């Protein structure tokens, strides 16, 4: 798809009439679960500059979820950063970011190692887990785990609640957009790379790459289920959340991304609310979306300007 | 880097264990959900050293073989994905989940971080001894398959690909991409706090008295030690900051190319794919 076609692409996502009600009910059910956050210091991973903690908290459905928390040594207050993971990657242990002055929580939503005791659909698997059942679809709790991770980070006394950012790439890009949408007055800055889970049903028709290929694999064997998948995805598509975003946000896409088609990123970017938004398209980049072509430095400078580590 | 005097003996011992495990037959089951118009997908269980059951994704192009083959050695992480669509249309592709990774995580489940230093103070118990063995078992699986053209087998991945090529002279081509885990660790680890290399720092901070033992083990795993054994065509595709320590892996083999990646994934992928296609051309 050339740049003109990418820019002209229109998403087929529909917003269900009860979209807001569905998510209000989901958030309400999550809020009824006590957080029970635990932070256990990990001496082996800590060093002279950064303390590392193994974090556990309860989330939607009562599942126990894991995270890493890395905080600079010293009193603070520090700006906070939530890092949300990609589809297959394990959540990074963000010690080097903490060394730059951020208190960082790196979330491991259900299904990731350390959070997979009660829910473990695997990879491939997560994208299709109960996909024809809107209320029990795997991403319902998964989304709430990411949202709760933000609340866990805010619960820390050394974190300045007015300076908390969110960042991630691919599925982490999707979760970044989700958290920024559902915590509009609290997220101070967001960076979403190569966003996944936007225009999802369209994306599957534009690529043969996993994870979207999981949808193609499924529909090859059960083509009659396409309307059911679409019906579920209209409730989960990140495209339908982002008009609520109010914080400054940057989004980067690779114009040759074969995993998360750039057209779906452009369509999503148009929907982002607020106005303090900037899109960074990278030519000849794929799912790396420019990370090694200068964008890592862009993110670093953007977050530093908004969150002021070391202030 | 000084090659340890017992380097050859150590890896001969590993090769012998792999040869013993070969007596047990692999299990191959068709996976209709991972098959496409151009390829048939399979789930494979390979019996590795110690009788360990290793999962691998296996894909065979439709049509009459034999076909050139790709062994995708695993990266550093818990998940090994289904092989990509495009290579599956033209190559037999085997994507191994080494012991500890998902689908090969019983009885041993790897931790991240943690895997890179598991047992590192004793080379006979270091988990990567078994992981290299797993890669050799996967290579041997390909050699056992009728649909594979034995003269055209390429291995891709990080250090594990290079080591496999060193220990399996039947390898035609090896493409090394991604971050190297074991090349020049002693120097590199002092300049970073990024994982996975930071795992070495964590370990030595916690167990400073084991430094000599760790360095001795790493002396057996630096891929440079395998260079003289690699007979395949080699492409090292590395990021610019890695050029200094990655370049010798290309220079010290008979047919080696070094490519410094542009950091633009599409451009870099196309170049790497073109190189593999050329190396496996009939």
Residue A280 near chain B (CB below 8 Å):
no
Sign of the four-CA dihedral B42, B34, A130, A142:
positive
Asked if B174 and B234 count as a contact pair (C-beta separation under 8 A), the reply is yes
Give Dmax (Cα) for chain B: 58
CA distance, residue B6 to nearest chain A CA (Å): 31
B209 within domain boundaries: yes
Across the interface, whether the CB atoms of B205 and A47 are under 8 A apart is answered: yes
Residue A83 backbone class (left: φ over 0; alpha: ψ -120 to 50; beta: rest)? beta
Quickly tell me which residue has 């047990």 as its tokens.
B24
Burial of B32 (0-12, 13-18, 19+ CB in 10 A): exposed
Range of the domain at B167: 7-279
Largest CA distance in chain A: 59
State the CATH number of the domain containing residue B137: 3.40.50.1820
| H helices, E strands: number in chain B | 9, 9
Write down the pLDDT at residue B254.
92
Kindly tell me if the per-residue pLDDT of B252 is higher than 80: yes
A45, A90, A285: residue with CB nearest B265: A285
Chain B residues with CB under 8 Å of A95 CB are 193, 195, 198
Select from A128, A212, A223, A285 the residue whose CB has the most chain B CBs within 10 Å, as the one to mutate to test that interface.
A285
User: Does B153 reside within a domain?
Assistant: yes
- Is any Cβ of chain B less than 8 angstroms from the Cβ of A48? no
Is the minimum CB–CB distance between A74 and chain B shorter than 8 Å?
no
What total number of domains does chain B contain?
A: 1
Query: Taking CB atoms and an 8 Å limit, are B264 and A220 in contact across chains?
Result: no
Which H/E stretch holds residue A140?
helix A138-154
pLDDT value at residue B3 = 74
Size of interface A-B (CB pairs under 8 A): 92
| Predicted pLDDT at A6 | 98
Query: Of A284, A112, A273, which is closest to residue A190 (Cα–Cα)?
Result: A273
The domain of A235 spans 7-33+121-307
Residues of B with CB under 8 A from a CB of A: 32-34, 36, 77-79, 81-82, 84-86, 102-103, 109, 111-113, 192-195, 198, 201-203, 205-206, 239, 261-267, 269
* Predicted confidence (pLDDT) at residue B4 exceeds the cutoff of 90: no
Question: How far apart are the CA of B207 and the nearest CA of chain A, in angstroms?
Answer: 9
C-alpha distance from B64 to closest chain A C-alpha (Å): 24
Query: CB–CB of A304/A296 below 8 Å?
Result: no
Mean per-residue pLDDT of chain A: 97
Q: Does A93 touch chain B (CB under 8 A)?
A: yes
Q: How many CB atoms lie within 10 A of CB B53?
A: 16
Is residue A163 classed as helix, strand or coil in its secondary structure?
Answer: strand
- Partners of residue A47 in chain B, C-beta under 8 Å: 193, 201-202, 205
**Nearest 10 degrees: Cα torsion A205, A141, A104, A239:** 40
pLDDT above 80 (res B182): yes
What pTM does this model have?
0.97
Residue A18 lies in a domain: yes
CB-CB under 8 Å, A90 with B78: yes
Percent share of chain B, pLDDT over 70:
99
What is the arithmetic mean of pLDDT over B250-277? 96
Residue A278 lies in a domain: yes
Show the tokens assigned to A207: 């690529």
How far apart (Å, rounded) are the C-alpha atoms in residues A237 and A13?
Answer: 8
Average pLDDT over every residue of B156-168: 98
Q: Is residue B1 part of a domain?
A: no
Distance from CA of B263 to the nearest CA of A (A): 5
CB atoms inside a 10 Å sphere around CB A2: 8
Specify the pLDDT at position B1: 57
DSSP string, A177-220: HHHHHHSTTT--EEEEES--SSSHHHHHHH---TTTHHHHHHHH
Matching residue, tokens 């790396």 = A288
Q: Does a structural domain hold residue B2?
A: no
* pLDDT tens profile B205-244: 999 999 999 999 999 999 999 999 999 999 999 999 999 9
Q: Beta strand A78-83 with A64-72: parallel, antiparallel or unpaired? A: unpaired
Phi, psi (degrees; rounded to nearest 5) at A73: -70, 150
Any CB–CB contact under 8 A between A284 and chain B?
Answer: yes
Instruction: Return all residues near B16 (Cβ < 8 A) that are at least 6 apart.
Output: none
Per-residue pLDDT reduced to its tens digit, B96-117: 999 999 999 999 999 999 999 9
Average pLDDT for residues A287-295, to the nearest whole number? 95
Q: What tens digit of pLDDT does each residue of B48-97 get?
A: 999 999 999 999 999 999 999 999 999 999 999 999 999 999 999 999 99
Percent of chain A with pLDDT over 70: 100
Cβ A122–B265 below 8 Å, yes or no? no
Please write the tens of the pLDDT for every residue from A129-178. 999 999 999 999 999 999 999 999 999 999 999 999 999 999 999 999 99
pLDDT-derived band at A274 (thresholds 50, 70, 90) equals confident
Does residue A74 form part of some domain? Answer: no
The band of A311, judged by pLDDT with boundaries at 50, 70 and 90, is: confident
Tell me the mean pLDDT in the region B9-38: 95
B93, B87 in Cβ contact below 8 A?
yes
CB contacts, 8 Å: A293 with chain B: 262-264
Give the angle subtended at the CA of A283 by the CAs of A282 and A289, to the nearest 5°: 40
pLDDT tens for A75-128 read 999 999 999 999 999 998 999 999 999 999 999 999 999 999 999 999 999 999
Does residue B191 have a pLDDT over 80?
yes
Chain A residues touching residue B267 (CB < 8 angstroms): 284
Torsion of CA A167, A169, A171, A175, to 10 degrees: 20
Q: Is residue A224 part of a domain?
A: yes
CA separation for the pair A205, A104 (Å, rounded): 36
Q: What is the DSSP letter of B231?
A: -
pLDDT tens by residue, A180-205: 999 999 999 999 999 999 999 999 99
Encode burial over B80-105: b for 16+ CB neighbours within 10 A, e otherwise: bbbbbbebbbebbbbbbbbbbbbbbe
pLDDT at B2: 64
Q: Give the pLDDT of residue B83.
A: 98
- What is the DSSP code (8-state) at residue A244? G
* Spatial distance between the Cα atoms of B176 and B162, rounded to a whole number of angstroms: 7
CB-based contacts of B108, cutoff 8 Å, min separation 6? B52, B99, B100, B127
For residue A4, what pLDDT band results from cuts at 50, 70 and 90? very high
Segment A211-223, tens digit of pLDDT: 999 999 999 999 9
The answer to whether the CB atoms of A284 and B103 lie below 8 A apart is no
State the pLDDT confidence band at B22, using cuts at 50, 70 and 90: confident
Mean pLDDT for B112-128 is 98
> What region does A256 belong to: left with phi over 0, alpha with psi -120 to 50, or beta?
alpha
The label of the residue with tokens 């649909």 reads: B147
Quick check: is B268 in a domain? yes
Count Cβ neighbours within 10 Å for each residue of A195-204 and write b for 16 or more, e otherwise. bbbbbbbbbb
Of B32, B82, B206, the CB nearest to A210: B82
CA distance B195 to chain A (A): 7
Angle B198-206/B211-221 helices, nearest 10 degrees? 150
When divided into structural domains, chain A yields a total of 1
Tokens 């167990």 correspond to B207
Give the CATH number for residue A207: 3.40.50.1820
- Interface predicted TM-score (ipTM): 0.96
């Amino acid at each position: 798809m050339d740049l003109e076609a990418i820019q002209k692409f229109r998403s087929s996502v529909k917003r269900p009439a009860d979209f807001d009600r569905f998510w209000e009910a989901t958030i309400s059910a999550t809020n009824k679960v006590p957080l029970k956050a635990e932070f256990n210091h990990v001496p082996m991973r800590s060093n002279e500059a950064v303390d590392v903690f193994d974090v556990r908290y309860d989330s939607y459905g009562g599942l126990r979820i894991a995270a890493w928390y890395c905080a600079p040594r010293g009193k603070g207050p520090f700006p906070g950063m939530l890092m949300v993971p990609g589809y297959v990657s394990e959540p990074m242990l963000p010690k080097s970011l903490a060394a730059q002055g951020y208190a960082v929580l790196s979330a491991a939503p259900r299904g990731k190692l350390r959070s997979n005791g009660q829910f473990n659909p695997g990879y491939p698997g997560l994208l299709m887990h109960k996909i024809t059942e809107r209320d029990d679809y795997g991403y319902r709790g998964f989304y709430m785990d990411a949202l709760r991770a933000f609340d866990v980070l805010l619960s820390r006394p050394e974190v300045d609640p007015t300076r908390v950012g969110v960042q991630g790439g691919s599925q982490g890009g999707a979760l970044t957009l989700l958290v920024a949408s559902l915590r509009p007055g609290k997220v101070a800055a967001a960076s979403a790379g190569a966003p996944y889970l936007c225009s999802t049903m369209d994306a599957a028709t534009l690529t043969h790459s996993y994870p979207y290929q999981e949808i193609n694999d499924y529909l090859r064997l059960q083509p009659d289920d396409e309307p059911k998948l679409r019906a579920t995805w209209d409730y989960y598509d990140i495209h339908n959340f982002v008009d609520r975003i109010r914080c400054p946000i940057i989004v980067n896409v690779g114009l040759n991304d074969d995993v998360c088609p750039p057209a779906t990123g452009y369509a999503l970017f148009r929907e982002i609310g607020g106005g303090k938004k900037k899109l960074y398209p990278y030519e000849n980049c794929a799912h790396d979306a420019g990370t090694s072509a200068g964008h890592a430095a862009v993110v670093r400078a953007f977050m530093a300007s908004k969150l002021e580590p070391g202030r | 880097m000084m090659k340890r005097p017992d380097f050859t003996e150590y890896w001969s011992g590993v090769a012998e264990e792999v040869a013993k495990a070969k007596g047990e037959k692999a299990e191959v089951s068709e996976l209709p959900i991972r098959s496409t118009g151009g390829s048939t997908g399979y789930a494979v269980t390979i019996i590795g050293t110690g009788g360990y059951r290793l999962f691998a994704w296996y894909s065979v192009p439709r049509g009459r073989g034999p076909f050139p083959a790709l062994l995708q050695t695993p990266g550093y992480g818990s998940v090994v994905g289904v092989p990509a669509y495009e290579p599956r249309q033209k190559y037999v592709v085997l994507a191994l989940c080494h012991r500890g990774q998902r689908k090969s995580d019983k009885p041993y489940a790897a931790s991240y971080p943690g895997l890179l230093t598991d047992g590192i103070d004793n080379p006979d118990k270091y988990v990567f001894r078994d992981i290299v063995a797993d890669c050799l078992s996967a290579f041997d699986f390909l050699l056992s398959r009728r649909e594979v053209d034995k003269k055209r087998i390429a291995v891709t991945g990080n250090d594990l690909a290079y080591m496999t090529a060193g220990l399996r002279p039947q390898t035609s081509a090896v493409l090394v991409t991604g971050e190297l885990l074991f090349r020049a660790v002693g120097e590199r680890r002092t300049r970073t706090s990024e994982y996975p290399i930071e795992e070495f720092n964590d370990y030595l901070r916690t167990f400073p008295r084991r430094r000599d033992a760790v360095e001795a083990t790493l002396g057996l795993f630096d891929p440079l030690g395998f260079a003289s054994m690699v007979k395949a065509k080699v492409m090292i595709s590395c990021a610019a900051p890695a050029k200094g320590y990655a370049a010798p892996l290309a220079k010290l083999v008979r047919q080696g190319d070094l490519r410094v990646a542009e950091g633009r994934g599409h451009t870099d992928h196309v170049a790497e794919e073109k190189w593999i296609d050329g190396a496996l051309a009939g």
